[in-house]
Amino acid sequence: MRHYNQRDWFELNKDPNTSIETIRAHFTGHAYDPHWHDSYLIGITEQGVQQFNCRAKQQTCVPGTSFLLDPEEIHDGNAPSQDGFTYRVLFIKPDFFQQRLKHLFAEVPDCFELNVSKTLSQNSFLTASISSAFAAIHYQEPKIIQEACLDQMMNQLTTQMTWRKRSQQISKSTHIALLAQEILHANLSVNVGLIEIAETLQVDRFYLTRAFKGVFGLAPHAYLIQLRLVKARALLSQGENPADVANKLCFSDQSHLGRWFKRCYKFTPADYKRRTFIL
């Protein structure tokens, strides 16, 4: 089922077996504002030219090229040509990734993170494996086909990714930013202020903002909006009503939540609930 908005459209599904979300969409002009997801984004450009800013540079993705983003990696979206672009993308949670890797490799190291090496790849085998995995999940192929396609894609993906050991030594500003991040995670449903957080951490709020932006690429208030949007998606996919979600997550009302949803995802909370709520 497609949702149409003039020349733009999207197909959104959530697989009941794996909980992987898939989107096939076509956008013209400005697609969406800078935002991030709590999932790995694994996708391909099907038609046209897709441009987005990520990792401090403009990325250009054309047919035959795949795009790979880590969780919480900030990106936007834009179609530089009048014909727009069409893409297919899978949203895969980190815990699903880790579990799947344990089946593919004899040992998965402890205290390591799996990170995308390059945002764009022209590896034809990777692109083909993403296309197959997307089709199997998005169009609800039998489980055995889904599993085979996902395994094939994971095998290809790991050639584009690296194990990175988590740093044990961090600077003062990074430490402050991480503490602030913990406070934001703990206050999704509380109308917390920047001055309050700075006082809790015993730092100046301007220092806090600089430190936080240096680590996470967003100011604390913008990061908190992204956290709340991610939580909103989870609540909506569990069947909660947009108005209740907006109230629970400190949006002023349902329209406020809807405006942020459309800026970052291009679809409305109601659209998202309808396509992802699994009984």
CATH of the domain at 250: 1.10.10.60
Residues 88, 34 contacting (CB under 8 angstroms): no
Numbers of helices and strands, H then E, in the chain: 10, 13
Strands 50-54 and 112-116 come out as unpaired
Q: What's the CA angle centered on 221, arms 119 and 209, to 5 degrees?
A: 85
* Structure token digits, residue 15: 């697989």
In this prediction, residue 105 carries a pLDDT of 67
Q: Parallel, antiparallel, or unpaired for β 40-48 and 85-92?
A: antiparallel
Residue range 239-268: mean pLDDT, rounded = 94
Compute the Cα dihedral for 52, 35, 235, 243 and give only its sign: negative
In which domain, by residue range, is 10 found? 3-165
Alpha-carbon distance of 56 to 131, in angstroms, equals 27
Same-domain status, 121 and 234? no
Examine the pLDDT at 222 and tell me if it is beyond 60: yes
Distance CA 160, CA 203 (A): 40
- Give the pLDDT band (50/70/90) at residue 2: very low
Digit-coded pLDDT (tens) for 35-75: 999 999 999 999 999 999 999 899 999 999 999 999 999 99
Return the pLDDT at 46. 96
Contact 154, 104 (CB under 8 A): yes
Pair 45, 63: CB distance under 8 Å:
yes
The Cα–Cα gap between 89 and 65 comes to 12
Coil, helix or strand at residue 171? coil
Of the three residues 104, 134, 165, the one that is the final residue of a domain is 165
Of 168 and 263, which is predicted with more confidence? 263
Specify the residue for token string 């030219």. 49
55 by DSSP, 3-state: which? coil
Specify the pLDDT at position 106: 63
Band of residue 28 on the pLDDT scale cut at 50, 70, 90: very high
* Domain end among 140, 165, 190: 165
Strand residue runs (E) in the chain: 3-5, 8-14, 21-27, 30-35, 40-48, 50-54, 57-61, 66-69, 75-78, 85-92, 112-116, 120-121, 161-165
Surface-to-core class of residue 158, CB atoms within 10 Å of its CB (0-12 exposed, 13-18 middle, 19+ buried): middle
Query: Lowest-confidence range among 113-127, 133-147, 175-189?
Result: 113-127
Identify whether residues 149 and 249 lie together within a single domain. no
Residue partners of 222: CB distance under 8 A and separation at least 6: none
Distance CA 146, CA 144 (A): 5
Residue 143 backbone dihedrals phi, psi, to 5 degrees: -55, -40
pLDDT per residue as tens digits for the range 8-21 = 998 999 998 899 99
Mean pLDDT of 107-135: 85
Q: Which of 142, 165, 188 is the last residue of a domain?
A: 165
Confidence of residue 1 (pLDDT cuts 50, 70, 90): very low
- pLDDT surpasses 90 at 158: no
The C-alpha atoms of residue 18 and residue 96 are separated, in whole angstroms, by 8
Residues 152, 235 share a domain = no
Q: How many domains does the chain have?
A: 2
Band of residue 152 on the pLDDT scale cut at 50, 70, 90: very high
207 and 91 both lie in a single domain: no
Q: For the chain, give the number of residues.
A: 279
CATH number for the domain that contains residue 79? 2.60.120.10
pLDDT at 98 over 60: yes
- C-alpha to C-alpha distance for 201 and 110, rounded to whole angstroms: 30
Do 81 and 211 sit in the same domain of this protein? no
Mean pLDDT of the 136-152 span: 94
Residue range 88-109: mean pLDDT, rounded: 80
Question: Rg of the Cα trace of the chain?
Answer: 19
Task: Please state which of the ranges 82-86, 128-132, 165-169, 183-187 shows the lowest mean pLDDT.
Answer: 165-169
> Which amino acid is present at 265?
Y
Residue 234 has pLDDT above 90, yes or no: yes
